[in-house]
């Protein structure tokens, strides 16, 4: 298990304990979690930029998209980009940053910033999906405290027109 994955899971469990949760131990299995959002990302292949050198490769993938869920519904504002950096050994770091404008679960207008980070070793490049860890910032009063906690993981699945990002709350899965 990659150290970043283990560290994120340990932080989620530690925070859950602080909130009065049951005693839990960390295993090598990813905690599935409760699905809270499915983000649809659309990629225009003609806008992808890349640089390849002797010691690595960088690919910048601009995108658009939307989300419709129980807690938030919105559209990605211009500027969303996924930056993928691959080292000479073939290991890849991915970091997508984007912002939505939309409404929270109370119907109030708000913005939601997402940063989703993933790491894929050369041996994992053929997996069906990429495990990643999202971070959120929002101006929604109802969602701010909840989404600012380190309790989420995501799976990034390929689709015909881009990717689907499935966001899970791992703490709710422990209950």
HEC per residue, 87-115: ECCCCEEEEEEEEEEEEECCCCEEEEEEE
Averaged pLDDT for residues 52-68: 97
Q: Is the pLDDT of residue 156 over 90?
A: yes
Which of 4-13, 116-125, 151-160 bottoms out in mean pLDDT, i.e. has the lowest?
4-13
What does DSSP assign to residue 20? T
Exposed (0-12), middle (13-18) or buried (19+): which is 49, by Cβ within 10 Å?
Answer: exposed
Exposed (0-12), middle (13-18) or buried (19+): which is 82, by Cβ within 10 Å?
Answer: buried
Integer CA distances (angstroms), 80 to 2, 34, 172, in order: 27, 25, 29
Q: Is the pLDDT of residue 14 over 90?
A: no
User: Cβ neighbours of residue 107 under 8 Å, at least 6 residues apart?
Assistant: none
Query: Considering the chain, what percentage of its residues have pLDDT values greater than 70?
Result: 81
What is the pLDDT confidence band of residue 141, given thresholds at 50, 70 and 90? Answer: very high
CA 13 – CA 30 distance, rounded (Å): 12
Query: Considering the chain, what percentage of its residues have pLDDT values greater than 90?
Result: 73
What does DSSP assign to residue 146? H
Tokens in use for 49?
A: 């930029």
Measure CA of the first residue to CA of the last residue in the chain; give whole Å: 24
Q: What is the pTM of this model?
A: 0.81
**Nearest-CA neighbor of 72 among 114, 119, 125?**
114
Exposed (0-12), middle (13-18) or buried (19+): which is 97, by Cβ within 10 Å?
Answer: middle
């Amino acid at each position: 298990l990659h150290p970043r994955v283990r560290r994120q899971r340990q932080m989620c469990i530690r925070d859950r304990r602080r909130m009065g949760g049951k005693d839990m131990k960390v295993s090598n299995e990813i905690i599935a979690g409760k699905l809270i959002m499915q983000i649809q990302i659309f990629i225009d292949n003609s806008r992808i930029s890349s640089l390849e050198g002797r010691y690595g490769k960088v690919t910048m993938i601009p995108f658009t998209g939307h989300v419709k869920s129980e807690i938030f519904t919105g559209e990605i504002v211009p500027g969303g980009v996924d930056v993928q950096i691959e080292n000479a050994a073939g290991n890849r770091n991915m970091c997508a940053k984007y912002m939505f404008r939309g409404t929270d679960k109370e119907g109030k207008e708000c913005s939601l910033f997402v940063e989703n980070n993933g790491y894929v070793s050369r041996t994992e490049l053929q997996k069906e999906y990429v495990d990643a860890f999202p971070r959120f910032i929002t101006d929604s009063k109802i969602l701010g405290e909840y989404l600012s906690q380190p309790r989420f993981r995501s799976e990034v699945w390929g689709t015909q027109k881009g990717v689907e990002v499935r966001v899970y709350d791992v703490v709710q899965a422990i209950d």
